[in-house]
Amino acid sequence: MHQETREVRSSRPLHRWSLLLVTLTAMWVIWCGVLPWVAAQPKMKQHLTFLDERGIDPSAMFYTELDAMDAILHKVDRTQSFTVAPTDHPEN
């Protein structure tokens, strides 16, 4: 069955290349058109700025990829305690 499918595939190279090109075109439209447009919307722009200001990369896989961790770890080291120092949060 697998071999048969491969034979069918190999007999239709134009179809396979067309599929690839169509998908790549769709990706180009999404990444170069749709996503920049979404990023330019006021609410999204505000959200992206909010994340940037705090050094947060939501796609970070490990804590070493988060810029925000520097300040947090510095604070932890400085207080040499178990959690955040309340004095640094007068609003709380």
Q: What is the 3-state secondary structure (H, E, C) of 23-88?
A: HHHHHHHHHHHHHHHHHHCHHHHHHHHHHHHCCCCCCCCCHHHCCHHHHHHHHHHHHCCCCCCHHH
Tokens of 43: 């609410």
Q: State in angstroms the smallest separation of the CB of 42 from other proteins.
A: 14
Task: Tell me if 26 contacts other proteins by CB under 8 A.
Answer: no
Q: Which of 19, 25, 46, 78 binds other proteins (CB under 8 A)?
A: 19
Which residue type is seen at 57? D
The token pair that represents 61 in the structure block: 């896989």
CB of 56 to other proteins, least distance (A): 5
Chain contacts with other proteins (rule: CB under 8 A): 9-10, 13, 16-17, 19-20, 23-24, 27, 31-32, 35-36, 38-39, 44, 47-48, 50-51, 54, 56-66, 68-69, 72-73, 75-77, 81-84, 86, 89, 92
